[in-house]
Amino acid sequence: MNICKLLSVSFFMVLPFVGSAQTKAKRPNIVYIMSDDHGYQAVSAYGYGLNETPHIDRLGKEGVLFTRATVTNSLCAPSRAVLLTGKHSFVNGKIDNEAKFDWNQDNFAKLLQKNGYQTALIGKIHMDGLPQGFDYSAVLIDQGEYYNPNFVINGTKQQIEGYVTDLTTDMTLDWIAKRDTSKPFCVLYHQKAPHREWLPALRHIQEYTSRTYKEPTTLFDDYQGRGTAAKTAEMHILKHMNWAGDNKIPPAMMDELGIKEYMSWDKAAFNNNLGRMSPEERAKWDAVYDPIMADFKANYAHMSDTELMRWRYQRYMQDYLGTVAAVDDGVGRLLDFLKENELDENTIVMYTSDQGFYLGEHGWYDKRFMYEESLRTPLLVRYPAEIKSGQTSDALVQNLDFAPTLLDYAGVEIPQDMQGESFRNLVNGKEKKWRDAVYYTYYEYPSIHTVKRHYGIRTDRYKLMHFYYDVDEWELYDLEKDPKELNNVYNHPDYAQVRADMHKKLADTRQQYGDSEANDKRFLPTTKR
Ligand code: SGN
Ligand code: CA
């Protein structure tokens, strides 16, 4: 048991003897906000200058902003499983989007529920089965839909008219408004946006499609200096992004221009997504997108690959950042609602994403890799009753820590087998010590985007990664000298000592968490590709 756990357990062991009624009344409410695929580069508080997210930013201004928060497995459903269980993927069993999640195992919502909290899960969860641990659940099916989506409300499917991001906010506020005010509450408010295929709300399309975005310096990366995995990944904006589904080029126009589908569902995605709109919605959409597409059609024949890449990057950013705008609106509505209902002082509001995302860095979209853009995730926490405003923390916290942290704030004992640590005492300054390395595993290969299986550790300065299964390659990066991770120095003589130290640290970390080569093998597909 570590110090944080000791402190929190002993603290709450004495609590019942010091006036439990009063303490109970003070237990904080929790609003855990998680969007899907929201890269920190697209939260303006992180300073990338791509867009404005004033409401999300407020959480950091009035609380704490973490600059180096990471996930343990950069993929949707595994990340959600880590959040719920406080355990690594190889322990909770949800190693990739395909694996079954066992809802019967313990999760922090169940523990809150047992300890008198009302709990709800609203929005995307991306796992089959009726969610356990929640008094109320209204979840999207699989990836969910942007326009007029289907929800499964306490187990019953229902299509709801409207835009998914706004509906998820409406349902969250509605549930809070109707709660039993005698109990504290915890709501998991999970946005689908900004997940592919990036359909912004109608109120944002004009503005966001009119903007031009600064290109990342690695947009035209040639992957020299990296291993096989970066070279073979299929997440390149020019080569692998869908033309119709993602860039919104109408399928008929693709045919006229002789553009072939890269993914077999490209045209179907466009038709399905836009086909969900009402005729009025579709007319408003077309009024903005038709001229963009007409312009593309007129120029396509003369565009070089470089020009096409640039055009596709802009199209991608316009729609991606357009969907973020509604997420930020929702956070604004939530904060106003909490204030109006005098809940703003005693409610923990946490904003994060299920992982990071490539916004053109290395020429990519998507995530999965242990490289910084997808390893890191935005994290901002506001809780005026305990967290001093205006803090920034570069501590190596992870989504593995969310369950123990929230239990700690709620005064619920953290189970011994949770692998994360509460960062409560780190944020309030009572504890200075924190872990010096984070551990990462990724398993979804062979699969879409062909990112090879790998695991690794990241310390303050270095990152060591091992790609395995159909390769056996190591990569080592010096994040201080090479923050964009362009030069693998694994075989560089100057880094011999660092390499040895990092290997030792990786071996120790794997042992500490109970991971091993046997585990890597246990999760391999039964037949090799
Ligand atoms: C879909 C997307 C992928 C994405 C996965 C997982 N393709 O398969 O680009 O990586 O979801 O995303 S799509 O053409 O169907 O949109 S995750 O966030 O759910 O893990
Ligand atoms: Ca995701």
Per-residue pLDDT of the chain (529 residues; tens, 9 = 90+): 344 444 444 444 434 333 344 445 589 999 999 999 999 999 999 999 999 999 999 999 999 999 999 999 999 999 999 999 999 999 999 999 999 999 999 999 999 999 999 999 999 999 989 999 999 999 999 999 999 999 999 999 999 999 999 999 999 999 999 999 999 999 999 999 999 999 999 999 999 999 999 999 999 999 999 999 999 999 999 999 999 999 999 999 999 999 999 999 999 999 999 999 999 999 999 999 999 999 999 999 999 999 999 999 999 999 999 999 999 999 999 999 999 999 999 999 999 999 999 999 999 999 999 999 999 999 999 999 999 999 999 999 999 999 999 999 999 999 999 999 999 999 999 999 999 999 999 999 999 999 999 999 999 999 999 999 999 999 999 999 999 999 999 999 999 999 999 999 999 999 999 999 999 999 999 755 4
* Residues 241 and 316: beta-carbon distance below 8 Å: yes
Would you say the pTM of this structure is higher than 0.90? yes
- What is the spatial distance between Cα 488 and Cα 215, in angstroms, rounded to a whole number? 24
Cis amide leading into 197 (omega within 30): yes
C-alpha of residue 246 to centroid of ligand 1, in Å: 12
Strands of 454-459's sheet, edge to edge?
437-442, 454-459, 462-467, 473-478
Indicate the angle between helix axes 305-340 and 202-209, nearest 10 degrees: 140
pLDDT of residue 528: 52
Say which CATH topology domain 440-522 has: Arylsulfatase, C-terminal domain (3.30.1120)
Side-chain-facing half-sphere of 518: CA atoms under 13 Å: 4
Structure tokens at 272: 């399905």
| 3-class SS string, 204-256 | HHHHHHCCCCCCCCCCCCCCCCCCHHHHHCCCECCCCCCCCCCCCCCHHHHHH
Cβ 246 under 6 angstroms from ligand 1: no
Residue type for position 49: G
- What is the spatial distance between Cα 420 and Cα 180, in angstroms, rounded to a whole number? 31
Cβ 195 under 6 angstroms from ligand 1: yes
* Residues 89 and 441: beta-carbon distance below 8 Å: yes
C-alpha of residue 39 to centroid of ligand 2, in Å: 10
The domain locations on the chain are: 3-197+318-435, 228-317, 440-522
Please give the number of the atom of ligand 1 that sits closest to the Cα of 75: 20
Could you tell me which of 52, 75, 332, 36 has the C-alpha nearest to residue 198? 36
- Within a 10 A sphere around the Cβ of 508, how many other Cβ atoms? 12
Strands of 29-35's sheet, edge to edge?
156-159, 150-153, 136-140, 118-123, 185-190, 29-35, 347-353, 379-382, 64-66, 391-393
* Residues 58 and 335: beta-carbon distance below 8 Å: yes
Label the pairing between strands 391-393 and 454-459. Answer: unpaired
Question: Which residue owns the Cα nearest ligand 1 atom 8?
Answer: 448
- What is the spatial distance between Cα 489 and Cα 209, in angstroms, rounded to a whole number? 40
C-alpha of residue 116 to centroid of ligand 2, in Å: 31
227-262: per-residue pLDDT in tens? 999 999 999 999 999 999 999 999 999 999 999 999
pLDDT of residue 494: 98
Cβ 450 under 6 angstroms from ligand 1: no
The angle at the Cα of 495, spanning 494 to 496, to the nearest 5 degrees, equals 100
C-alpha of residue 247 to centroid of ligand 1, in Å: 15
Structure tokens at 157: 């499917």
- Residues 6 or more apart from 280 whose CB is under 8 A from it? none
Question: Which residue owns the Cα nearest ligand 1 atom 15?
Answer: 196
Please give the number of the atom of ligand 1 that sits closest to the Cα of 197: 16
Cβ 190 under 6 angstroms from ligand 1: no
The single residue listed with the structure tokens 């968490």 is 513
pLDDT of residue 236: 98
- What is the spatial distance between Cα 331 and Cα 342, in angstroms, rounded to a whole number? 16
Cα end-to-end span (Å), the chain = 42
pLDDT of residue 527: 56
Indicate the top mutation candidate among 128, 141, 143 to test ligand 1's pocket, ranked by most ligand atoms within 8 A of CB: 143
Cβ 449 under 6 angstroms from ligand 1: yes
- Report residue 65: phi and psi, to 5°: -115, 125
Q: Is the sign of the CA dihedral 7, 13, 15, 17 positive or negative?
A: negative
Indicate the top mutation candidate among 448, 450, 451 to test ligand 1's pocket, ranked by most ligand atoms within 8 A of CB: 448
Cβ 452 under 6 angstroms from ligand 1: no
Could you tell me which of 406, 429, 441 has the C-alpha nearest to residue 515? 441
- What is the spatial distance between Cα 507 and Cα 501, in angstroms, rounded to a whole number? 10
C-alpha of residue 196 to centroid of ligand 1, in Å: 7
Write the CA distances from 124 to 27, 152, 157, 508, 512, integer angstroms: 27, 10, 14, 35, 32
According to DSSP, the residues that pair with 347 across neighbouring strands are 29
Cβ 196 under 6 angstroms from ligand 1: yes
Say which CATH topology domain 3-197+318-435 has: Alkaline Phosphatase, subunit A (3.40.720)
pLDDT of residue 529: 46
The single residue listed with the structure tokens 């209204």 is 138
* Residues 131 and 139: beta-carbon distance below 8 Å: yes
The angle at the Cα of 30, spanning 324 to 108, to the nearest 5 degrees, equals 105
